[in-house]
Structure 1
């Protein structure tokens, strides 16, 4: 899996932005708050899902997202310490070779499972009386396992190729651990990950647009007052799309426009793009704090069990979301 956070030799003429107060203090502090918030929310989510059986493909995908979020959270303390320069140079080597690879791997797994959830919800709404093969629990488990093998297999290759000894143990950047073969591999995975993201983004747009259209016209045909239903659908659709867009779209746009300078004239632009890229990557990490919102809004079993465990009485039964 790609390591997109490193500098290249083309940027060495510009100031080393990895050693500024923003990257050494501000970003690590923000990542620390993300870690604490994500740890609390995902500990609760994990506890709840441990009491929910995998009785539908929808629940299977949600459990996989919880797993990816927990694994991403595990990588954050190492990133925080490394970016803050609080550990030895060996910590930087560990982060470059293993930690960032797992960070990105779990990020793209989360993206893929959100895409699968949107397709699963579309089939449930568009054909509520049918049970397609892709909606069966066994199929969901198989395709989930396939996603893990595909992404983590790529991650293992990245780890193996990131094996160059560092010549400078003080100012080591992740780029220094790459040989020519690994550089070509990272270029390939960068393109692959962009393709995964934008295909998933289009899939979400198409599926949720179709869901909204289906519910709206069904209520119109039955001459029902659809205002409440439409509001509920809008809430669920826009919450899911909102989380996905806020967390992932800025980073992938930055990856399309981010270029390293070949000379001093490009340093001003490089500085701006570098900081924009780093903060957009922070948004990707914030996804671990926002995913529980999706569980709460979309999964009836999760919401009911949450209220039950918290001993909160509901004034009315929560209807199944999308």
Structure 2
């Protein structure tokens, strides 16, 4: 019996060609350019977001709006006794509330199968408001830390009642700089669909809009965020509060010193607990932008990690009022006074002292210490 070697050779050659084709297709599907829009199927990420984001954002919205609303109420009730710190906290509460008001729209985008359904104009407005208040909140925290550092460590008053315009100018500069940093949102934000994510419309920065290099623009934008939105404020917070803690440690303030340690540690800890995981994840994702061999599984995991850690960061807006309520003695006393004046009968062992007292857990400075919030 003769074997047709020619046909057999063609048969094996055909099989080898098929296997090579399938291998190439597999490599193309999972390791290609993620910015091309036709490589990875990231639909699993959208399913995760549709469950996780609405739940967490709704919780942050309710808790944050109620908490910051109470904080604004306390500040308004005591507006005749405002200190410099209270002015900063007022602006911080306003920025937190405005940022929180954008969360329901992002939650609806994630929960809806169609995605963003509010139009291009509202996409730009919502995204810009979010960015402005994100930067504004972080910069105001830095301003508060600098004010306390100068007052406690150097006994210097950069802001005084006689020069109240200085603190208002500082807040105006913070808001103006935050608006400046939001310019890219006005330029790039628009509803866009990505067939990798189930062809769902999302309000995102469309870097392809002007025909420039996508990865290059992403790296520049993220570098700006890392520098101004986290690293610089972190350096300011760590330096100022480390010096304050050292100064208090070397002093003889007794109970006041212990309270200051609690508030300072709480403020710094909450900031870093909320924002450090997101910044680490974003740094990893940025480093992977130039990695052409990254798999779809890795990219999906990074997307989920970014969703979780960014949501944790946004919770920071909700935690500030809780921090003041549980750690800030004066805020708690003032809130109890307001509730009692409204007819609420509260059983408490807290001794309500005069709110006009000039002593403080922060310093002996009359201008900085008389903060209603802390």
TM bracket (short chain): 0.7 to 0.9
Whole-Å Cα distance in 1 between the matches of residues 110 and 138 of structure 2? 25
Whole-Å Cα distance in 2 between the matches of residues 29 and 57 of structure 1? 37
Answer yes or no: is 1:23 the counterpart of 2:49. Answer: yes
The Cα of 1:266 is off from its aligned counterpart by 2.1
Q: Which of these residues, 264, 271, 277, is aligned with residue 306 of structure 2? A: 277
Partner of 1:138: 165
TM-score under structure 2 normalisation?
0.72
Are residues 134 and 235 of structure 1, via their aligned partners in 2, closer, same or farther at CA, if it must alter by over 3 Å?
same
Partner of 1:315: 351
Counterpart contact for 1:34–1:286, Cα < 8 Å: yes
Structure 1 window deviating more from structure 2 (278-287 vs 175-184): it is 175-184
Answer yes or no: is 1:44 the counterpart of 2:70. Answer: yes
SS in 2 for 1:132: coil
**Count of aligned residue pairs for this structure pair:** 309
The Cα of 1:230 is off from its aligned counterpart by 4.1
Structure 1 residues without counterparts, runs of 5 or longer: 1-6
Counterpart contact for 1:261–1:270, Cα < 8 Å: no
Q: Which of these residues, 200, 210, 216, is aligned with residue 249 of structure 2? A: 216
Whole-Å Cα distance in 2 between the matches of residues 131 and 13 of structure 1? 58
Partner of 2:153: 126
Larger radius of gyration: 2
1:66-85 pair list within 5 angstroms: 66-85=93-112
Counterpart contact for 1:79–1:99, Cα < 8 Å: no
Are residues 40 and 142 of structure 1, via their aligned partners in 2, closer, same or farther at CA, if it must alter by over 3 Å?
same
TM-score under structure 1 normalisation?
0.82
The Cα of 1:316 is off from its aligned counterpart by 5.5
Q: Which of these residues, 2, 11, 14, is aligned with residue 40 of structure 2? A: 14
The Cα of 1:216 is off from its aligned counterpart by 1.4
Deviations 1:43-73 (A, max 9, x none): 2122222223273321111011101111011
Are residues 180 and 246 of structure 1, via their aligned partners in 2, closer, same or farther at CA, if it must alter by over 3 Å?
same
Whole-Å Cα distance in 1 between the matches of residues 116 and 61 of structure 2? 23
Are residues 158 and 77 of structure 1, via their aligned partners in 2, closer, same or farther at CA, if it must alter by over 3 Å?
same
Structure 2 residues without counterparts, runs of 5 or longer: 1-32, 341-345, 363-374
Whole-Å Cα distance in 2 between the matches of residues 260 and 157 of structure 1? 20
Partner of 1:192: 224
